[in-house]
């Protein structure tokens, strides 16, 4: 039983072989840092996304380890080289069984 939420990616649909493409991704998550307290003084437990993985035709091309210092609704802009047509997959995993993912097709000419 895992939690999930939306993740949205923006990247070009096509590119020339060898082009560097920019990928923007954001995910809906409060990233509860574990440092906040309720009005009655109880600590709100940590509940964050811990990892992000980008694969390109199943090969890892970019990975991120997130800590509580990452802002809510994590947003990352990064790049990758367009090598061949195929599928880029973006996966987030975190505390309390959190998992979300999305994919995007890239046509490389």
Partner 1 sequence: MSDQNAEMTFIAKVFVCCGICALVVVGALAKADPVGNERQSSYELMSADTKAMQDDPLLNPANFAVLDGRALWQEATGTNKIACAACHGEAKVSMKGVAASFPKLSTSRTGGRSLLNLGGRINQCRTEHQGAAPLALESKPLLSLSAFVSTQSKGMPITVERHASNASHLEAGERLFNLRLGQLNLSCAQCHAERPGQKLAGNLIPQAHPTAYPIYRLEWQSVGSLERRLRNCLTGVRAEPFAFGSKELLELELFLAWRARGMPLESPGVRP
Partner 2 sequence: MNRRAFVFSAAVASGLPSFNALGEVADATQAVEKIVGNKNVSRGRVTLVIPPLVENGNLVTMKVSVESPMTKDDYVQAIHIVAEGNPLPNVVSFYLSSRSGRAVITTRIRLGDSQRVRAIAHMSDGSFWQGDASTLVTIAACAEV
Q: Which residues bind partner 2 (CB under 8 A)?
A: 20-21, 33, 35, 39, 56, 59-72, 74-81, 83
- Judged by beta carbon distances under 5 to 8 A according to partner kind, the member of partner 2, partner 1, none in contact with residue 44 is partner 1
What is the spatial distance between Cα 9 and Cα 103, in angstroms, rounded to a whole number? 8
Q: Which does 68 bind (CB under 5 to 8 A by kind): partner 1, partner 2, none?
A: partner 2
Report what 62 binds from partner 1, partner 2, none; CB cut-off 5-8 Å by kind: partner 2
Residue 99 to residue 32: CA distance in whole angstroms:
16
Are 52 and 34 within 8 A, CB to CB? no
Cβ atoms of residues 8 and 26 within 8 Å: yes
Of 1 and 109, the one with the shorter C-beta distance to partner 2 is 109
- Beta-bridged to residue 81, according to DSSP, are 20
Q: Which is nearer to partner 1, 30 or 84 (by Cβ)? A: 30
């Amino acid at each position: 039983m895992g939690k999930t939420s939306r993740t949205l990616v923006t990247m070009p649909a096509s590119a020339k072989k060898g082009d560097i493409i920019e990928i923007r991704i954001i995910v809906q998550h409060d990233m509860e840092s574990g440092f906040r307290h309720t009005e009655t003084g109880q600590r709100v437990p940590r509940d964050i996304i811990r990892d992000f993985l980008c694969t390109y035709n199943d090969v890892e091309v970019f990975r991120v380890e997130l800590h509580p210092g990452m802002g809510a609704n994590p947003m990352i802009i990064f790049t990758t080289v367009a090598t061949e047509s195929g599928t880029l997959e973006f996966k987030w995993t975190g505390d309390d069984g959190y998992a979300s993912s999305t994919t995007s097709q890239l046509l490389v000419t």
